[in-house]
Chains A and B, each alone.
Chain A
Amino acid sequence: MSVPVETLDPVDYAVISQSLIAAAREMGAKLIRSAYSTVLREARDGSAALLDDGGNTIAQAELIPMQLGTIGQVFQPALALYPKETLSEGDFFVMNDPYSGGQHLQDVFFFHPIFFEGKVLGFSASVAHHLDISGGDPGLNTAATDVYSEGFIIPPVKLNMARDWHGGAFQRILRANVRVPHQTMGDFDAQVAANAIGAARIVELAERYGVNKLKAVMAALLDYSETRMRAAIGEVPDGVYYGEDAIDDDGITDAPLPVKAKVTVKGDSIEIDFAGTAPQVRRNLNAPFAATISAALSCVKGVLTSPDIPFNAGAARPITVKAPKGSLLNPHHPAPVRARMEASFRAWNAVMKALSVAVPDKVIACGYDTTTVGVLSQLGDNGWSVYLEIFGGGYGAAIDSDGCDAVDSPLSNCSNTPIEALDQDFPFFRVIEYAMTQDSCGVGQSRGGLGFLRRYEILKEGVRFSLYSDRFKRAPEGLFGGGAGTTGYCEIKRRGEIIPLKSKDAVDLLPGDIVTLAVGGGGGFGDPSKRSAERLREDQADGIISADRAASWASSKIAAE
């Protein structure tokens, strides 16, 4: 039936491959540009992909690394329930259940089958982080003790656009369960549209080149990414490498939660085993297994490969990921998972540290590497108004480059929302400062990236604030003699009094309160005494480091942790 790869014309192969990648990119661009909520339109917390008829991810829009690793896995339970032969035009799947392959309830996946000449040729997929999907608190319920209290759960279901969407039952149920329907329902429409665009492009390719050739290229593109990934892994010395990091605490007690990785490199494949990682916890820091896989794959890809390798199911073939059931990285149902990014980041750090032994020139030191989510909400006469923003921190340094200052963390890639957009949209608070933090970078031959802070002045009654973050107690470590970065913090200034918050917390605010949310800088790389005097002078002139820090730089030791 299908054309064997060997007989594919090299130009057809190259052209169709690039067209598939371009189609996925267009899906992603239009998902973002037609979205309504700040979390999707400004933070761009969404992704899009094209899958083959077996559910393998062929091409993806490169938006958020965390969502990219496992769209194919998320899709499998739906395909198992509803085989492709049973699908009709207009059918689609929706799901968000972390215990059926999802990551957290806010990420809702839409899959649309792509029909050509009456048969399913593949699927277009999109996922978006939705501002509010019900649950015990707007946007983020830090007190949730299970997944039920985190929001509205959608197992893999088959729906039909005509029957269930445009004013249909499912759409109405969904609308009734979200606090900000104007934004959220618009974002769902953007997902539906992105999938329609992907389908239209695939059909055009099928018409132009024929189904057989298109399918052959899809298969070849998977092999292509696999080949390049294996070539990159093949250059890493064989061996067993270990790395470890930890989350501050579980939000209830003060004990750190270790995350351990054992990375076994053998020939052109890698096995990553998270045995020894802390057991699952009672609050929302658990990472469902799909998140763990994404984190591990993203780290390997970032360290070992050039950026132009399409990240599809083929790229994942040489990498096996294991995590003990019941652990922080593979929890039992129904543990809460809303803040799964923190455990995912520590998994990323642990793999990075393990690889630093094998390929020291390719890795970077620990950065702040944390997702910090701040939510300000207010219930007014016209319903809820919810502001949510995602913050990164300073990147870790590499042997030959300083860490990037004030940027979103590696597994994420959210933009900030312009202050002037916030001023227009949210009359209940005002941002009064957005600044990088002097001396927050770890020392080293290369310095870490700077952390930063945001200060909000509360202007109205009835405002609530919730956050989750990490590294409020444990600073990111430097590498090969580089110094640690800094911890983050959050505090409220109320009538002259300072009220510190925990890294996972929620409070009611009063008008006049000033909320400060600060994220830390990244760790340094290499012996600080090897940094050139000129670069120290420049950083001091620019206020990145203080005169004191510049003077003590060369003699700085790794901060005791």
Chain B
Amino acid sequence: MRVGIEVGGTFTDLVAVDGSRVEVVKVPSTPASPDKGAFASLAAAGLDPAVVTDLVHGSTVATNAILERKGARVAFVTTRGFRDILFFQRHDRRNIYDLRYAKPLPPVRRKDCFEVTERLDSAGAVVTALDEAEVVSALVPALKAGGYEAVAICLLSAYTSPVHEARLRQLISAGLPGLRVACSHDIAREFREFERASTTVLSAYVQPVIDGYLDRFEATLAAAGFKGAFSVMQSNGGRMPAAAMRKNSIAALFSGPAAGVVGAIRQAERSGRKNLITFDMGGTSTDVCLVVDGVPSVSPETEVDGLPIRTPVLDIVSVGAGGGSLVWIDDGGMLRVGPRSAGAMPGPACYGRGGTEPTVTDAHLVRGTIRPEAFLGGTMHLDPDKAHKAFEPIARQLGLSVRDAAAAAIRLAVANIVRAIQLVSTERGHDPRGYALLPFGGAGPLLAAEIAEELGITEILVPPNPGVISALGLLSADYVKVSGVTRRTGLGDAAPHMLADEFGRFRKDAEAEFRQLGLNGELDFDLTADMRFVGQAFEIPVPVDTAALSRLGASDLAADFDAAHRRIYFHGGEPGRKVEIVSLRFGVRRRLETLPEFRERPAQLAGPGSIEVWTPAGAIKAKLVDAASIAAGQSVDGGALVEGYSSTLWLPPAWRAARDKAGNLIVSRISA
């Protein structure tokens, strides 16, 4: 039995597969101790941990530790003269007119920042030797007196040579045995000191929290007789054995959205679809990702609470447009949706928990695309009158009927998501019309057809149980490790050799590490060179074919880079404009041998019947269809509401949904 458990803010989702057996469960999350919800989901699915062979877990524990500032007590150590780099940050403001601007708050205070005498130059040569006597006589006692749980070291130019950081760690560990020490060259070996320092400090900050959580989780599992493999999801879209996360907790941030993308890709692969735009619409936001040839876009950095983290993550763009997003009119008379959300409390007006402001969910209820009896598989009753009432003031102000005001709100929510999709597609040089749209999350399939129409997308793929795709992504994720290194090299004849050398080194280390973790079998490697024109500050990632590395020439790299630059920036190289490689990114992956089968969980909703839906063409009768009742080879024509356990698909007139052999609904326009 393979099991994925994804702990989200509101719900904990479980997907379990074993041959033809598929279990899908949603239970309320337990934010105070998320592992309780996780074990509750196992119980709700009737699963004995002793029969689970492979358990993959994703949670918001790391992210929440930062957001709530509940991480470890960390000391920061850097080069003399630069104690304040975490507080300077980049000397800019996110909101340029805000007179009361406050910078994002680092997880350490200024009094927890220390300096050591040392300096390297950009080639790694020693300018000022590390003052070891000073470390022993001043730094170590100060760290001891401060009662820190962890130390984060980021010295200038450590990306080019770890010599001083490594020695400093030795000295600290000798003086304070047992104290956790994180070095920037281990965590993010790339130039730009603030971003590297921020990553290192955040890593040190969350590591003890993750360790404690995993300790507890593993102990509970062991007590229940669990003997399988236990892995944890990462933000790069792969999993790693829990043991490996004891060194690399920062990779666990934002694993939930990444798991969703992986689940979507896996499920689409079964239907032979590899070019996808995924969108995950939940209660407060929508996450969008572009997938080219089965590979999701990757961003070299992300941020949490405004603080940069230099670690490769799936390039997921989030917009404040979810089911709970508020619909409002601003003081200039413009209709707006989000980014404020009604959240879980009070939630949309129709929840009847005291909310009076209208939300996107209320708009669906008013126009008829959510059926009050069928929400969340019928487990939660909604009040249509409250939704209607909530839209009245807006309707009055716009001079529209309540149904038209709700329809306007839906169109605006669609536009917000369309803009996010354009950000990951059009703005990066990809035409969305060449992609299939893959909606998931509780609210995704409700808007998919309208979003596709806006973008000129002709095919939508709706997976089974769209509300638990993240949990599916967990148990279908490969084992993945990524790392990066800054190796600034002009694009001449030496560059391909440098690439081959660095890649060979990574490959050797990765093979040893995976073997040590018991991950045997064939490993796949990938290599990306971050390149730019000499003088630029931002790099463009250019994938390098590792199989062709031995015959790769500098001119091949230059041509690939120039094409990528033109696609994004509308201009490229001129004669004499030199190109350089700045950093390299490596990935190693051990693929799963078999992917799980996945099918709709029967929702046992009432049906058949119909519901009135308000469309641009007026009111129509839409069929009610139980998603589980559409067998492979069968199809349904719109207008129809296709209701499932975790989500509902709105199929407007002129659209058809056909179940394929992989269990997915292929949604397309009915040709005239």
Contacts from A to B (Cβ < 8 Å): 10-11, 13-15, 17-19, 22, 26, 30, 32-38, 41-42, 44, 62-65, 182-183, 186, 189-190, 192-193, 196-197, 200, 224-225, 227-228, 231, 298, 301-303, 305, 307-309, 311, 362-364, 391-392, 395-396, 398, 400-401, 404-408, 410, 413-416, 418-421, 423-424, 430-436, 452, 455, 541-544
CB of B508 within 8 Å of the partner chain: no
The chain B residue sitting closest to A395, CB to CB, is B101
How far does the alpha carbon of A400 sit from the alpha carbon of B100 in the complex, in Å? 9
- A420-B535 in contact (CB<8A): no
Tell me which of B90, B96, B415, B571 contacts A34 (CB under 8 A): B571
User: Cα distance A186–B578 when bound, in Å?
Assistant: 11
| Contact status A22-B111, CB under 8 Å | no
Closest to B409 in A: A11
Q: A38-B537, A63-B96, A392-B91 are in contact. Are A419 and B193 (CB under 8 A)?
A: yes
Given contacts A36-B535, A193-B569, A416-B90, whether A434 and B156 have CB atoms under 8 Å apart is: no
Q: Which of B127, B157, B427, B577 contacts A420 (CB 8 A)?
A: B157
Contact A183 B81 (CB under 8 A): no
Instruction: Assess A406 versus B191: contact at CB under 8 Å? Given A224-B332, A544-B110.
Output: no
Task: Please name 8 pairs of A and B residues whose Cβ atoms are closer than 8 Å in the assembled complex, sorted by A.
Answer: A14-B336, A41-B537, A302-B97, A392-B91, A418-B192, A423-B157, A430-B121, A542-B109
Partner of B91, one of A63, A400, A414: A414
Per the bound structure, the CA–CA distance linking A11 and B406 in Å amounts to 11
Contacts of A41 in B (CB 8 A): 536-538
Q: B570–A186 contact, CB under 8 A?
A: no
Evaluate contact between A434 and B88: CB separation under 8 angstroms: yes
B95 within 8 A of A: yes
Residue B122 at the chain A interface, CB threshold 8 Å: yes
How far does the alpha carbon of A526 sit from the alpha carbon of B88 in the complex, in Å? 26
User: What is the number of residues of chain B that contact chain A, defined by CB distance less than 8 Å?
Assistant: 65
Q: Tell me, yes or no, whether B547 is within 8 Å of chain A by CB.
A: no
Query: Nearest 9 pairs between A and B by C-beta?
Result: A433-B81, A36-B535, A41-B537, A542-B110, A416-B91, A423-B122, A228-B332, A15-B415, A34-B569
Instruction: Name, among B81, B85, B111, B537, the residue most crowded by chain A CB atoms within 10 Å (CB to CB).
Output: B537
CB distance from A304 to the nearest CB of B (A): 10
* B533 & A186 in contact (Cβ 8 Å cutoff): yes
In the complex, the answer to whether A413 meets B412 with C-beta atoms within 8 Å is: no
A residues in contact with B194, CB < 8 Å: 418
Residues facing A in B81-114 (CB within 8 A) are 81-85, 87-88, 90-93, 95-103, 109-111
- Given A189-B571, A433-B81, 15 more contacts at CB 8 Å? A10-B335, A11-B415, A34-B565, A182-B534, A228-B331, A302-B98, A305-B97, A309-B332, A398-B99, A404-B93, A406-B87, A414-B91, A434-B82, A435-B81, A436-B88
| CB of A93, distance to nearest CB on chain B (Å) | 19
Q: Does B90 lie within 8 Å of A415, measured CB to CB?
A: yes
Using an 8 Å CB-CB cutoff, how does the interface string of B368-400 with A read, 1 for contact, 0 for none?
000000000000000000000000000000101
State whether the Cβ of B222 lies closer than 8 Å to any Cβ in chain A: no
> Is B254 among interface residues, defined by CB-CB distance under 8 A?
no
A424 x B97 contact (CB < 8 A): no
Interchain CA distance A561-B574 in the complex, whole Å: 56
Question: Is there an interface contact between B191 and A420, defined as CB atoms closer than 8 Å?
Answer: yes
CB-CB < 8 A to B577: which residues of A? 182, 186
Q: How far is the CA of A30 from the CA of B536 in the complex (A)?
A: 12
Any chain A CB within 8 A of the CB of B672? no
Q: How far is the CA of A308 from the CA of B119 in the complex (A)?
A: 44
Q: Decide: B84 and A435 in contact? CB cutoff 8 A.
A: yes
B333: CB under 8 A from chain A?
yes
CA A125 to CA B101, docked complex, whole Å: 28
Contact A307 B95 (CB under 8 A): yes
**B538 contacts A10, C-beta separation under 8 Å:** no
B408 and A10 within 8 A (CB) = yes
Say yes or no for B270: interface residue by CB 8 A criterion: no
B568 in the interface (beta carbon within 8 A): yes
Q: Which of B95, B411, B533 contacts A11 (CB 8 A)?
A: B411
B159 touches A (CB below 8 Å) = yes
Residue of A nearest to B418 (CB): A15
- A52 to B569 CA separation, bound complex (whole angstroms): 23
CA distance A228 to B533 in the complex (A): 43
CA distance A421 to B539 in the complex (A): 14
Interface contact A302-B99, CB-CB below 8 Å:
yes
**B334 at the A/B interface (Cβ < 8 Å)?**
yes
B408: chain A residues at CB < 8 Å are 10-11
Which residue, of B110, B412, B565, has the highest number of chain A Cβ atoms within 10 A? B110
Contact yes or no, A413 B334, CB < 8 A? no
With beta carbons under 8 angstroms apart, the residue of B102, B109, B419 that contacts A401 is B102
Asked whether, in the complex, the Cβ of A30 is within 8 Å of the Cβ of B569, the reply is yes
- Complex Cα spacing A369 to B330, Å: 32
| A413-B111 in contact (CB<8A) | no
Task: Give residues of chain B (534-573) contacting chain A, Cβ–Cβ below 8 Å.
Answer: 534-538, 565, 568-571
Asked if residues A408 and B93 are in contact (CB atoms below 8 Å), the reply is yes
Residues on the B chain within 8 Å of A189, using CB = 571, 574
Is A227 touching B87 in the complex (CB atoms < 8 A)? no
A34 touches B535 (CB 8 A): no
**How far apart are A66's CB and chain B's nearest CB, in angstroms?**
10
Q: Are A404 and B103 in contact (CB under 8 A)?
A: yes
- Which chain A residues lie closer than 8 Å to B95 at the CB level? 307
- The interface residues of chain A lying within 8 Å CB-to-CB of B88 are 406, 416, 434, 436, 452
Distance of B48 from chain A, by nearest CB (Å): 52
Q: In the complex, what residue of chain A is closest to B486 when comparing beta carbons?
A: A420
Cβ of B192: which chain A residues have Cβ within 8 Å of it?
418, 420-421
CB contacts (< 8 Å) of A63 on chain B: these are 96
Q: Which chain A residues lie closer than 8 Å to B334 at the CB level?
A: 10, 13-14, 17, 224
What is the CB-to-nearest-CB distance from A551 to chain B, in angstroms, rounded to a whole number?
18
Tell me the smallest distance from the CB of B587 to a CB of chain A, in Å. 24
For the complex, give the distance between the alpha carbons of A62 and B571 in Å: 23
- Asked if B488 lies at the interface with its beta carbon under 8 angstroms from chain A, I say yes
Closest CB in chain A relative to B96 CB, distance in Å: 5
A-side contacts of B415, CB under 8 Å: 11, 14-15, 18
Q: Are A33 and B569 in contact (CB under 8 A)?
A: yes
* Best-surrounded residue of A18, A34, A227, A424 (most CB of chain B within 10 A): A34
Cβ contacts under 8 Å, A423 to chain B: 121-122, 156-157
Per the bound structure, the CA–CA distance linking A424 and B192 in Å amounts to 11
> Cα distance A432–B422 when bound, in Å?
44
- Contacting residues, chain A, for B565 (C-beta < 8 A): 34
Task: Give the distance to chain A from B288, nearest Cβ to Cβ, in Å.
Answer: 14
In the complex, which residue of chain A has the Cβ closest to the Cβ of B84? Answer: A436
Task: List the A side residues contacting B568 at CB < 8 Å.
Answer: 30, 34
Bound-state Cα–Cα, A528 to B83, Å: 28
What is the 8 Å Cβ interface bit string for chain B, positions 98-142, against chain A (1 contact, 0 not)?
111111000001110000000101100001000000000000000
Interface centre among A11, A200, A225, A363 (most CB of B within 10 A): A11
Does B97 contact A65, Cβ atoms closer than 8 Å? yes
> Complex formed: what's the CA distance from A221 to B466 in Å?
38
CB-nearest residue of chain B to A541:
B111
Query: Are A407 and B84 CB-contacts (below 8 A) given A416-B91, A424-B122?
Result: no
B193–A420 CB distance below 8 A? yes
Are A227 and B536 in contact, with the CB atoms below 8 A? Answer: no
Shortest Cβ distance from B473 into chain A, in angstroms? Answer: 30
Contact B537 A364 (CB under 8 A): no
B411 / chain A contacts, CB cutoff of 8 Å: 11, 15
Question: Can you name the residue of chain A whose Cβ is closest to the Cβ of B576?
Answer: A182
- The complex places the Cα of A362 from the Cα of B87 at a distance, in Å, of 26
Task: Tell whether, in the assembled complex, residue B332 and residue A196 are in contact, meaning their CB atoms are under 8 Å apart.
Answer: no
Check A364 against B81 for contact (C-beta < 8 Å): no
- Report chain B residues within 8 Å CB of A17: 334
CB-defined contacts of B122 to chain A, threshold 8 Å? 420, 423-424
Closest to B578 in A: A182
- Cα A309 to Cα B109 with chains together (Å): 35
Question: Given A15, A38, A413, A452, which contacts B93 in the complex, CB threshold below 8 Å?
Answer: A413
Q: Contacts A15-B415, A186-B533, A416-B90 given; indicate if A34 touches B538 (C-beta within 8 A).
A: yes
Contact B535 A183 (CB under 8 A): yes
B397-427 vs A, Cβ < 8 Å mask (1 yes, 0 no)? 0101000000010011001100100100001
